[in-house]
Amino acid sequence: MSAIVQGFPIFLLIFCRMTAFFVVAPVFSSRGVPNVFKIGLGFFISFIVFLSYGIDQTIVTDAQYLLVVIREILIGVLLGFVVYLFFSIVQTAGSLMDLQIGFAMANVVDPHTGVSAPLLGNFKYMLMLLVFLMMNGHHYMLTGLMDSYQWLPLSNDMFSRMMSGNVTEFLTRTFSNTFLLALQVSAPLVVAMFLTDLGLGFLTKTAPQFNIFVIGIPLKIIVGLILLILLLPGMAALFEKLFAIMFQSLEQLLGIVQGPPDAQ
């Protein structure tokens, strides 16, 4: 009984980081995943981490323990938010594509998030999830979350690093990089739609009798779908590159907050 009383505060801290990560991170935070499964998965992973790491840890349950709980929740949310940023790249790129093709008027509700999402963004997001699960990305993500205690132990300097501005600078840089990646992903189709609009403009000048609104809308849709079909074979390699950048960003975040394990 005394062992349970001593180990429960450590287990609670681990459980807070795990569940906070599952609330924000893609795949696990989907509305299609039952809450019972999220809580159960967080509990069992926390139990495994506790047996391998937390059983040797000690912590004083005083008034500062509440701050430690909040710090662990912030760490889990921060890690999950970085992963979410890279998954939002395809939805941002899809929004830019829809705006050019004309699909932006037919936004649908995304069952994963419950909010309105672009057609092509939703389609690419599903493809990205499929590639992510096929390459066992969720296993790598869980492994990285469990290994985060080697980089970021319970006795970390999260609050001091946040006060110094390192975490804010990293999040700002990561957000700008993800937006730049979204522009790069959507660039081929956006440029093609711009050239299509340019050609339709020349057509209107040379042949004013053509109704540009009747011709332009189906023409842009046809050209956009043809280009999308041509770009689909390269999506898998593109998604793998995005996943590699995502895991590198997670490693950079852990290094900024605490530093590599050898530096401890």
- Cα gap 240→252, rounded to integer Å: 18
- Cα gap 51→63, rounded to integer Å: 26
**What is the tens place of the pLDDT at every residue in 64-118?**
888 888 888 888 888 888 888 888 888 888 888 877 787 766 566 666 556 666 6
The residue behind tokens 């057509």 is: 203
**What is the tens place of the pLDDT at every residue in 197-247?**
888 888 878 877 777 777 777 888 888 888 888 888 888 788 888 888 888
The token duo for 190 is: 């956006």
- In this predicted structure, the answer to whether residue 46 has a pLDDT above a threshold of 80 is yes
* Backbone angle region of 199, left / alpha / beta, with phi > 0 → left and psi within -120 to 50 → alpha: alpha
Residue burial 161-186, b: 16+ Cβ < 10 Å; e: rest: beeeeebeebeeebeeebeebbeebb
- Place 145 in a pLDDT band, splitting at 50, 70 and 90: confident
Give mean pLDDT, residues 51-76. 81
Collect all residues with Cβ–Cβ distance below 8 Å to 93 and sequence separation of at least 6.
Answer: 121, 124, 182, 183, 185, 186
- Cα gap 242→233, rounded to integer Å: 16
pLDDT of residue 66: 86
The token duo for 249 is: 């960003």
- In this predicted structure, the answer to whether residue 123 has a pLDDT above a threshold of 60 is yes
- Cα gap 254→168, rounded to integer Å: 13
- Place 263 in a pLDDT band, splitting at 50, 70 and 90: very low
Q: What is the pTM of this model?
A: 0.79
- Cα gap 164→82, rounded to integer Å: 19
- Give yes or no for a contact between 177 and 85, defined as CB atoms under 8 angstroms apart: no
Candidate ranges 23-27, 28-32, 255-259; pick with highest mean pLDDT: 23-27
- In this predicted structure, the answer to whether residue 22 has a pLDDT above a threshold of 80 is yes
